[in-house]
Each structure stands twice: as structure tokens, then as C-alpha cells.
Structure 1
Amino acid sequence: MPLAVAPGLLLLLLLLANGTRGALVVSVATSPVRAQPGSDLLLGCHFSVGGDVDMEALVVQWKLGGRLVAEFDAVQSYSRAGASLSLEGLRVGNASLLLPRVGGSDAGLYTCSIIHSPSRESRQVELRVEAPPRVSVSGTAVRAGEHSTVTCSVNGFYPESVNVTWLRDKQVVGGPETPLAQLGPDGLYSATSTLQLVPSISHADANYSCRVQHITLGTPIQEPFWLSVLSQPRLTLLQPLVTLEGQVTLQCLVSGYHPPEITVQWLRDGDPLVTMESSPMKQTDGSFALCSSYILNHPESNAQANFACRVQHPALSTPLESTATWTVPTCTKMCLGVIGLILLVLLVLLATWIVYQCCNISMSQIHVGECFPESSVTVLLCEAEGRLRDTDSLTWRSPRLGKELGSGQPGELSTLMPEQHRVVTWRHRLGLGRQRLTSVLTVQTPRDEESFSCTFRLGARDMQQTQITIPGVAADCPLLDGDMAIF
């Protein structure tokens, strides 16, 4: 006989059976969730019912604000194109919402609601659709004195509003501005900001930066840069320095250029020559200058040659070149007769001359090669000749500074001197045990009249000295002779 159950008892048993289900627990991803535009996003929501999920008692709802996005209630329904819930996931407590190719309209506060009769729980998570910007600067190679544009490019950001400010040495020189943003095919924005300027050489030492502020950034991005200021060199051929013995020194002055990296070369009829040059000297306006020389020890008689000083520099699209023609003067019949008579006399005095030349040491006066007030450079030359030793030297001094400007070893640049002075010294073998010591001092032309001295030093002892006074930049720059003193 079947056991009859009273209606009231049956109801109690059903209530007890329902009461055996565990409490409903719902969890969502840590808020906010960030996603780039165009990416596929799985917005996480998990729940637990303390046992198996009863799909007939399960209702899942996703809302964006007050708008229903997705729902499962025995069947699935969606108002957002492409959104989906996984039935397999729901059976194991995974109610995550898949949103393909998210955009700005998907951003906002989402609510994940789970109903597992008779329990109901909801959790909220914020979705932010955003991307931080990438910043780069271009157009930093500029020419001194010319109108220039530097560009700051801000790319790959979302949402569209971005703020740009230009700084020089931490001071605002442009902006702040909100440049017009363009939406790209990837769903991200890009914008550009420009800095207009007419640079000078002094701007090459300034610390520039492009500062970008965007909602995705905790602190602004500050992209630093330096201007590469290009200034073309000026090339001037100086008057050749000619000694009594016929040695010729060709010189060219290269000035007004920036940056300091430069190549200077002498050519004879197109063939490269071995030359000597001073180190670049920084001028008061920030530009650089140097002097390059080539020495003709024994110019051929009746010979004519083209000597070119060629300069290559980043500011030049093609090398800069200046050419001079050097011609050794020919001698007339009268000139030849006089030379013959002189040779006859010299033959008589040859023995005495050889003895004298082997033992005597002579020193020239200081010669001014050229001075250029517009570039503030003056070149001085001093020579000593005789039976010299390797320890003998020529030393330059400045009475105003009260110190030596330098002597240097032959063939090397002196480095023990102020930045505005450069000394080049070299030695030539003349025969009969004799040598010629030549020293060139390149100085910045002083504002007022100033004196310089050249001393021949025999070992550690001063033997002969010659002195010259040059005018300042406000005066003319004639060729001046110096005075000699013997110790």
C-alpha cells in the first residue's frame, strides 16, 4: 500500500529540499577593466551556488547602465551585436560576457546579475576603452637664421582629447594646446603639434621637450630633444707667408660653422696634399673657426699650380672650395747676371759662410699672416733657424695674461693654453746640420690693442725674443713688424 503524505507535510518537505542549496556568491573582475579600441574583451563574472547549477532555475543578466546588453533565461538574447555568453560556462558558474571589437560606446558601468531561484546577487564592474599615446619629435635638424618647424607627433591614443605643451630649459615656449585629433582605421587617434622658430647657434645648447597630457596617463609624457643647428662655414684664403729662403705657407681660414665636426683638405691641381690645421676654436656667438696650412718647401722655378682649400661640413650639400694660383716669378737676363755676380762673391766667401751658418742661430721677426675682425681671428708666425737641438723651442707669451700661451712639440698642437689661443709648431731639415723651427699662433683678435712675444729657448734658457703689437677689432689690421731682443 503506498504511503500517503499529507499536503501540509509535502509542502514542508519541498521547502526543506530547497533549503539544502548553498548561498549564491557572485564575483567580477577588478574594476576598472581597460581595453583598447578594436580589441576583443571577455568581461569576467563568476558565480557559485554551493552545488550543481540548475539551468532551469538560472537567470543571467548583463546591463550597461540601465540598458540590457545580454540575458540568459532558458534562452539567450542580446542587444549588443556580437555579444555572447557560453552555455557550457554557465553550467559551471561562468557568466563572463564576450564583447568583440570594443569601442567607445562599450565603455561604462556594467552590472552582472545572477538569479538562481530563490537567490539573487549582482556585482558591478567598470569598463574603460582607452589607449595611452606614443610621442615622437621630428624636424630637429635646423639651419641658423632660417624659419624652421619642429613637429611633435602623438599617436595611438584613445579617447581623442590630448594636450601638448612645448618647453625650452623648463620654460613654456609653445602651447598648451589641444590639437585636432584624427581617427585611424585601427580605432585609435593621432594628432600633431608644431613649434615655429628661427634658431640661432646658441639654441643648440638648449634642452627642449614636448610634454603630452592624456586621460590615460598618471603623469605627462615629456619627450626631450636637442636642436641640431647647422651653420655653413665661410672660407677665406689668407695671404701666403713667404720667408727669405723662399719657403711658402699657404693658409685658409674656415669660420662661422656649426657643429664643430669639419673636414679641411688642400689639393694641388686636384691631388690631395698633406696639410696641418689648428683645432676648432669656439667663437663668442657659439660658432667655430680654424686655420689650415700647407707648406711649399721648395717651389719649382717657372712653375704654376692651382692650390685649392676644400671644406666638407654637415651644413653643406656639396663641398665648399676656394682656389688660388701660385706662380714662381721668372728671372730676366739682368736678373740672371746679378745672380751670377752674387754667386761669384758667394764662392769666395763659401768657407766662411759654412762655418758661420753651422754655428749661428737666427730668429725672424713676428709676421702677421692675416687678421679678420669679422671672424675675430689673427694669425702670427715666428721662426728660428740654425744648428738646433731637439730640445730647442719657440715659446709664445702674452704680457697681458702674464703667462705662456704655449710652445708644443714640432708637428703637434699645444694644449696648455686658453681656449681662445692655438699654437702649431713644426721643424724642417735644411742641410749642413741646420734646421728651421716654425711656430704659428692663432688668436682671437682682441677688442683693444694687445702685444704678443715669441722667445727662442735654447734648452731651458731664453736666448732671443721678438715682440709684436696688434690692433683691436675696431682698428684696421695692417701687416705689422715686431721688435727683437737678444738675451
Structure 2
Amino acid sequence: MESDYTSASDSIVRANIADGQRKVFQAPQNAHRVAGENFTFHCAFHFLQDISKANIYWWKLGNTEFLQQGTDSRKQFVRLRKGEASLQLLKVQVADSGVYYCGVKHLDNLFTNGTGSTLVVYVPPIPLSIKSELLAINASKTLIISCKTAAFYPDGINVTWYKDGFQTVTGIHTVKNLNSDGLYELSSCLEVTQTLRYVTCQVAHRTLQIPVNVTFNALNWNGVPNSGENKNFHRFQVALIHRFVLGFLVILILIIMIVVHFKRC
């Protein structure tokens, strides 16, 4: 990559007067990647027989300067044989989304820009978090369970709630916001008034191969058993402990009696 270059905007204007027989093709035309993956743009300009007599430039639409080798280690510039070149972005980030162009400048100073490639970087909404808040309303208790996603992109997302494995569509309040980074954040709340074992929040997004679940154990609200079954189980545990202690004492007494007997003998 040459260090003495004109600005990207100047070169794009000059491309309008380039020889009509000169074509610079780019691939893919449209693509998306999940944040953290690598992506490669391809540029072909087969009208040049001798690639050594041309300078190749890359730029992102909206920027006033060309992309340069060495300014960002995540950007790798490769000049291939037979009139081809590539730009590889390592561990893509949301800020990498945009339209990228490849341009070729020959020794006759004619500049031809490519057809452009659009990259959209997706961000999955994970990990999920779930928590609860116990509210006292008119002498009755309501458990509010909130499910929050990590920042994600693009917008489309589905949240489904399950009570003890059965889908529910009532008592749900969902809010979605756009943060300063251009990513979305979602918070969904479910009101629970009856006794349950567990509540599950399920999130589906185009970045996820399968929906992701997060489950809240609702057997105890604020540490207090909320069902007769739980109380019965607690009674069973207490009874079991009592029987264990009693059995231990019986065995201990028998051992003492045997030891005393042998000493007398």
C-alpha cells in the first residue's frame, strides 16, 4: 500500500472519468458475520496484466481516508496474482459494519473503483440474566421475574415465557431500547401470583442456532416455602434426621453395653 495517496473522496470522483472498459468487481455483494468472526472482501481487476504497475486501495463508505496497512492489526491487506486482491477483517466488531470499496489506480493515473461490498455485523443477545422481586400488593404477594438480554443486533428478537414447562402469554411486560453503541437491549418481566416450581425465559434471535433458555427456581419466594408439597418435604427431612439420631444413640448404647460386659468377664 502506497503512503502518498489522495483522499478516498477525491478518488471516487475521479473514478467517474475512468475508462469504461476497466471494471473492478467485488465479492460478496452483501454479507453478515457474527461479532468475533473473521471476514474477507475480494476484489478482481483482470483488465491489468501486470499487477505490479497498479496501486490498490480500500476504503469504507463515509470515511475520508483510505484504509492503511499497520494502522489496525485487525485489517489484513493481501495482493494476489492475476489481478486480484483481498481485505480481511479479523474478529469483526459492530463498528465494522458498512460498505467497503476496492479501487485500482494504474500508472496512467486513471482510478477505477469497485462495485462495493456491504458487511453487517450481528451481535447475539447472550448471556441472559434472570432475577426476581417479591411485591406485596393488597395483602397478596406477587413475584416479578425479570429476564434481560445482553446487547444485541439486529433488532428482531422473540421472548417466550414458560411456567412449569407450559407457555404463558399473560402478565408479561417487555421493553426494548437502543443504546449509544447502536445495539439493542431487552428486558422482559413476568408477574407470578400462583405457586410454581420454576419459570423459564426463552430467547430466539437470528444469531442463535437454537433458542437460549434461562430458568428461575420459584419453589421458594424470598426464602419462604410457598407450597404444601415443600412443607411436607421439609417435615420428611426433619423426621429423617430424628430417626438417624435415634438409631445412632441405640447403636452407641449397645456398644457401651458390650464393652462393659467384656470388662466384667
Q: TM-score range by the shorter chain?
A: 0.5 to 0.7
Superposed CA deviations along residues 438-483 of structure 1, whole A, max 9, x for unmatched, are xxxxxxxxxxxxxxxxxxxxxxxxxxxxxxxxxxxxxxxxxxxxxx
Superposed CA deviations along residues 220-256 of structure 1, whole A, max 9, x for unmatched, are 1243344322222221002144334123322111122
Q: Aligned match of 2:67 in 162, 168, 173?
A: 173
Aligned pair in 2 of structure 1 residues 280, 330: CA closer, same or farther (>3 Å)? Answer: closer
Letter in 2 for 1:153: C
Q: Which has the higher helix share?
A: 2
Partner SS for 2:95: helix
Residue-pair matches, total: 190
Q: In 2, distance between residues paired with 1:178 and 1:317?
A: 32
Q: Structure 1: which 5+ residue stretches go unaligned?
A: 1-129, 183-189, 334-487
1:306 aligns with 2:198: yes
With normalisation by structure 2, the TM-score equals 0.58
Q: In 2, distance between residues paired with 1:212 and 1:282?
A: 39
Partner SS for 1:202: helix
The equivalent residue for 1:232 is 124
Q: In 1, distance between residues paired with 2:68 and 2:29?
A: 16
Aligned pair in 2 of structure 1 residues 280, 179: CA closer, same or farther (>3 Å)? Answer: same
1:151 aligns with 2:41: yes
Aligned pair in 2 of structure 1 residues 215, 265: CA closer, same or farther (>3 Å)? Answer: farther
Deviation at 1:291, TM superposition (A): 0.9
Deviation at 1:289, TM superposition (A): 1.2
Letter in 1 for 2:23: P
Q: In 1, distance between residues paired with 2:78 and 2:131?
A: 55
1:242 aligns with 2:140: no
Q: CA RMSD in A?
A: 3.5
Deviation at 1:309, TM superposition (A): 0.6
Partner SS for 2:218: strand
Alignment of 1:212-291 (within 5 A): 212-213=104-105, 219-233=111-125, 234-244=127-137, 245-274=140-169, 276-291=172-187
Q: Which has the higher strand share?
A: 1
Q: In 1, distance between residues paired with 2:91 and 2:78?
A: 24
Whose relative contact order is higher, 1 or 2, with alpha carbons under 8 Å and at least 6 apart? 2
The equivalent residue for 2:89 is 196
Q: In 1, distance between residues paired with 2:39 and 2:30?
A: 7
The equivalent residue for 1:123 is none
With normalisation by structure 1, the TM-score equals 0.34
Partner SS for 1:223: coil
Partner SS for 2:84: strand
Q: In 2, distance between residues paired with 1:272 and 1:132?
A: 56
Mean CA deviation greater in 216-225 or 258-267: 216-225
Aligned pair in 2 of structure 1 residues 257, 219: CA closer, same or farther (>3 Å)? Answer: same
The equivalent residue for 1:329 is 226
The equivalent residue for 1:412 is none
Superposed CA deviations along residues 349-372 of structure 1, whole A, max 9, x for unmatched, are xxxxxxxxxxxxxxxxxxxxxxxx
Deviation at 1:194, TM superposition (A): 1.9
